[in-house]
Amino acid sequence: MDAFSPLSATLGGLLIGLASAVLWLGNGRLAGISGIFGQLLPPAQTIVWRLVFLVSLIAATFLAARLWPGLGVGGDRPAALMAAPDGWSIPTPVWIAIAGLLTGIGTKIGNGCTSGHGVCGLARLSRRSVVAVLVFFGVAIVTVTVTGIV
């Protein structure tokens, strides 16, 4: 992260908190992205708000990237997918697919993701979310240590 900016991090955090609060107050639902996405297949009875939330999340990200291209952690560089680590002889698409599958398995086992536990769960003072977030951070630290990717 060679282009960290406290201003953009604060703005991003405020927007995530605002979106979570609007969903909670307006719909009585937690903004756990894995849970919202996971209920699309097989379709839950409440599919419309899930689609609206996910499409809005993607559209807002796309719009922000177009309006402020230097806002993200890449600074002036355009956004790009993370390449597989050097020396691992795993093609990048396979690396991304494995990472996605492991993330999906982890969110199923942990009964939620970083947005559900880290943003909404901690705000609700949930003990289960505190444990989940500690595990998330612990695994992240180990992953960075093993792969050398920051």
Q: Are residues 141 and 102 in the same domain?
A: yes
- 120 pLDDT tier (thresholds 50, 70, 90): confident
Q: Are residues 99 and 52 in the same domain?
A: no
Of 80, 96, 121, the one marking the end of a domain is: 80
Mean pLDDT, the chain, whole residue set:
83
Counted domains in the chain: 2
- Do the Cβ atoms of 35 and 53 come closer than 8 Å? no
What percentage of the chain reaches a pLDDT higher than 70? Answer: 87
User: Rg of the chain's alpha carbons, rounded to an integer?
Assistant: 17
pTM listed for this prediction? 0.70
